[in-house]
Structure 1
């Protein structure tokens, strides 16, 4: 299944997956290291209590995974982006590979692995909010050796985007190789100080911030406290409330456009993928965050994760 290369900007379909990257004329401006999952989604009027059964909608399968989501979000906006990860040798793996290739993501380091692909079990409530259980599958086998094999790809990228649906050892190895690290602490977990020190920025939502800090507080205060933990910069996302940017020079609040939320699945990944791409293009952090907030807002207007991600023309009204 592995496709090599992938010079990703708007290009003719016959050229979308076969050129560029570390083996072509230009390096990828952005590389995502992370998970690739099949999202199994059911909509419900309300979530069941323990021991209770509720009736939901028909089951729908979408391509997902935090790594794949971020790569697709960036690719749809025009990024040249590659993905380092693993997919299974099952039917989900074939489905996921085809979806990524269709969006022009560079797949030369997407490794097909015997075993089940990652799966996310997602319930979406009437308010558009979601609850997710992830079965990692072969995502759990991404290794430091995989990172070493992609060292040239990672080192040549302007930004490497990381999350925690892959093993921490592989994430840390990728961060050590990268010129600039965008790290989303999701799902939240204890990470070494070395990894935090490499983040520029650390991206967290309110739940992840509370995990790191041991409690909640005003967003500006939380962002400052997160910066004191060692990252070079911080972006605290607030859903419909926008985001807060913290750098050594100060804290900036970034508002979000008002939209009607249909499904928030993958909105944080859309935000992070857009943020990483704009940073790779040379934007300062506040400017990149303002753009990413618009992308995240656009993504909640349609169901699914990758299926909801906007193209540039979808942002014009926001």
Structure 2
């Protein structure tokens, strides 16, 4: 459950400074938004996923829904609201680093879950959510998930404080350093602080790998899978989607994190967001068992 945006992606040798104009080298327009990306990542990793979210009544909305469905995601419950769809303007430099500006538009109108939408949550193995839609909507879905025995994976992105009411409903938290600091005030130097607010957590560290910990006493760093970096835009979404699939399949959590790390690495080898998300066979190719 989450956002769906049309991503307008420009590549350039260097990211522009304020007031500076630089020439781009390429342009692509692809389906994006963390909700859509992670739903597609789930599908490509071999999971059976449905997306709950909102698109606009504009041409971007028509294209978004068609592309998400073409990736194997169930879009039956995706809402169409009057007005603009969400848009993200992404600039990627020659080193694979990026800047992103997002206009939420229809995503901000995704409030007040319907009975049909709640039924999808109740029937799921795992609810995957982020923070690019109203936090009240995420909390409502997480509460219904908890009541129904559906596990809740929260990717608390973008970085912002998360209400205690929502954190109490989370079974697995996935954050990067900035997101961890927004929640606990601590980052890489004290990842265990995440276990004060959730029972299990993953701290992603980019090229430095990932940390996993849980209240059962398991804490471990998982090394990154080394690849030639082209575009890191959707690597985190690939990681989260693959992690949800592995968790849903009942894998050991450390093994699930290793597999998810392979997914993030496979994604970073290609330009774009949803179009770069890897197939299960590509993840398996890079996966290194512990």
Q: What CA deviation, in whole Å up to 9, does each residue of 1:105-143 have, x standing for no partner?
A: 011210111111100010101110111111001011001
Deviation at residue 145 of structure 1 after TM alignment: 2.9
Counterpart contact for 1:88–1:115, Cα < 8 Å:
yes
Deviation at residue 210 of structure 1 after TM alignment: 2.2
What secondary structure, in the 3-state scheme, does the structure 1 residue paired with 2:50 have? strand
5+ residue gaps, structure 2: none
Q: 1:100 to 1:186 in 2, by over 3 A?
A: same
Partner of 1:124: 92
Partner of 2:151: 180
Distance 1:224 1:243 in 2: 13
Counterpart contact for 1:198–1:232, Cα < 8 Å:
no
Counterpart contact for 2:162–2:183, Cα < 8 Å:
no
- TM-score, with structure 1 as normaliser: 0.85
Distance 1:212 1:150 in 2: 28
Partner of 2:224: 256
Q: Which runs of 4+ in 1 moved over 2 A?
A: 210-218
What secondary structure, in the 3-state scheme, does the structure 1 residue paired with 2:17 have? coil
Distance 1:310 1:293 in 2: 12
Deviation at residue 291 of structure 1 after TM alignment: 0.8
Residue from 170, 184, 193 that aligns with 2:137: 170
Counterpart contact for 1:37–1:96, Cα < 8 Å:
yes
Partner of 1:104: 72
What secondary structure, in the 3-state scheme, does the structure 1 residue paired with 2:159 have? coil
What secondary structure, in the 3-state scheme, does the structure 2 residue paired with 1:261 have? coil
TM alignment of 1:7-22, pairs within 5 A = none
Distance 1:62 1:183 in 2: 24
5+ residue gaps, structure 1: 1-32
Residue from 146, 150, 153 that aligns with 2:117: 150
- TM-score, with structure 2 as normaliser: 0.93
Deviation at residue 197 of structure 1 after TM alignment: 1.8
What secondary structure, in the 3-state scheme, does the structure 2 residue paired with 1:166 have? coil
Deviation at residue 312 of structure 1 after TM alignment: 1.9
Residue from 278, 284, 304 that aligns with 2:246: 278
Residue from 185, 195, 198 that aligns with 1:214: 185
CA RMSD of aligned residues (A): 1.3
Distance 1:260 1:98 in 2: 31
What secondary structure, in the 3-state scheme, does the structure 2 residue paired with 1:209 have? helix
May I ask how many residue pairs the two structures share in their alignment? 281
Question: Is 1:203 aligned to 2:174, yes or no?
Answer: yes
Q: 1:315 to 1:52 in 2, by over 3 A?
A: same
